[in-house]
Amino acid sequence: METRAAQVLSRPITIGGLTLPNRVAMAPMTRGFSPGGVPGADVAAYYARRAAGGTGLVITEGAYVGDPSAGQHDLVSRMYGDDALAGWARVTKAVHDAGGRIFAQLQHVGMVRKAGDPPHPEAPAIGPSGLPLLGDDLGHTMTQADIDAALSAFGQAARDAERAGFDGVELHGAHGYLIDQFLWSETNRRTDRYGGGVRARARFAAEAVAAVRARVAPGFPVVVRLSQWKQSDYAARLAGTPEEFGVILGELVDAGADAFHASTRRYWEPAFDGADLNLAGWAKKLTGKPAITVGSVGLDTEFTASLAGAGAGRTGIDGLLDRLEADEFDVVAVGRSLLADPEWTAKVLDGREDDVVPFTPEALGVLG
């Protein structure tokens, strides 16, 4: 007899012009196993194992766009250069051969970068106002030429991702990276058309979506990842009210966004006072677009504890299924559980939760 999990999670869902076979996605997680930014055969096999294990959508780690200031590590993948793009073509083929679909997450770290960081140590840290998320090291305040170059890099990366066989792209607009730095009032102190009120602060994000939409085929899915929290401040608030959040989302929808991936540390927590909806729920309610939720799915501790060396116990997902059945959101992204067990999706759908390999911190150190 079909399990409740299978009934809820096995329903197809359409994002843009693409229909996914089920409601489970692999969350984007920076792994740093791509020397020189080039994903190899081990990366292809890593993602393909999750697709073969029943996960309907794989979202890659953030791949740096082709702006010299976009990155901060030489082991994190990039979405530019013939060598990296050839590597990604092998990744997409492996995932497709395993029956899955795959989106590339496109990333520009902005002021998270430190002076001298690879892969381009000569490049400055740049941001809307040159303000760091932590510390006192001021960076370069972006000129219009800098903004235009970054937007062009996002558009080109999306075009190259589509050519490499990706089924869609996700713009990383969360966690304090460049797009988020424009959205957040604490890091955006501009007085031109990119700063000031909520709508003006959303301009760069909207122009990034428009730049991507202009370079890819009609129907090619464009997702935007957003969060309240920053890696430097878990209590940060991108939007203080649903109305403010709606302004940001509306600008992104008008620019061509097909769906939203709302990053939270605990998916069950309300995003705003007065309602039980989480951030993904509000994204769907305010736009009508598909929404992806994420945050400690099936685990009893959040990822920060795991980064500090703690394990995580398994919990049930009945509460998650309740919310999916109520159409609060449409897709659930799973992170650490899929690191520990590539077959997590198939086991959960089949009612074999007791067979799931538990997450331990050791999973963070290998490309299993």
Catalytic sites, residue numbers: 177
Specify the DSSP element, H or E, that contains 285.
helix 279-287
Tokens read off for 9: 């999670």
Q: Rounded to 5 degrees, what angle do the CA atoms 265, 311, 332 make?
A: 35
Task: Report the SS3 class of residue 289.
Answer: coil
The one-character DSSP state at 51 is H
Pick from 35, 85, 24, 90: which is nearest to 59 by CA? Answer: 24
CB-based burial, 308-320: b 16+ in 10 Å, e otherwise: eeebbebeebeeb
Task: Report the SS3 class of residue 243.
Answer: helix
Specify the long-range contacts of residues 48-51, CB closer than 8 Å, at least 24 apart. Answer: 48/91, 48/94, 48/95, 48/97, 48/98, 48/100, 49/98, 49/342, 49/368, 50/26, 50/100, 50/338, 50/342, 50/345, 51/95, 51/98, 51/99, 51/100, 51/101, 51/102
φ and ψ at residue 333, rounded to 5 degrees:
-95, 130
Q: Residue 187: which residues within 8 A CB-CB, separation 6 or more?
A: 111, 127, 128, 129, 131, 133, 176, 180, 181
- Cis peptide leading into 119, omega within 30 of 0? yes
Strand partners, 105: 62, 170
**Cα–Cα distance measured from residue 106 to residue 170, given in angstroms and rounded to the nearest whole number:** 6
Pick from 160, 145, 256: which is nearest to 210 by CA? Answer: 256
Q: Residue 51: which residues within 8 A CB-CB, separation 6 or more?
A: 58, 95, 98, 99, 100, 101, 102
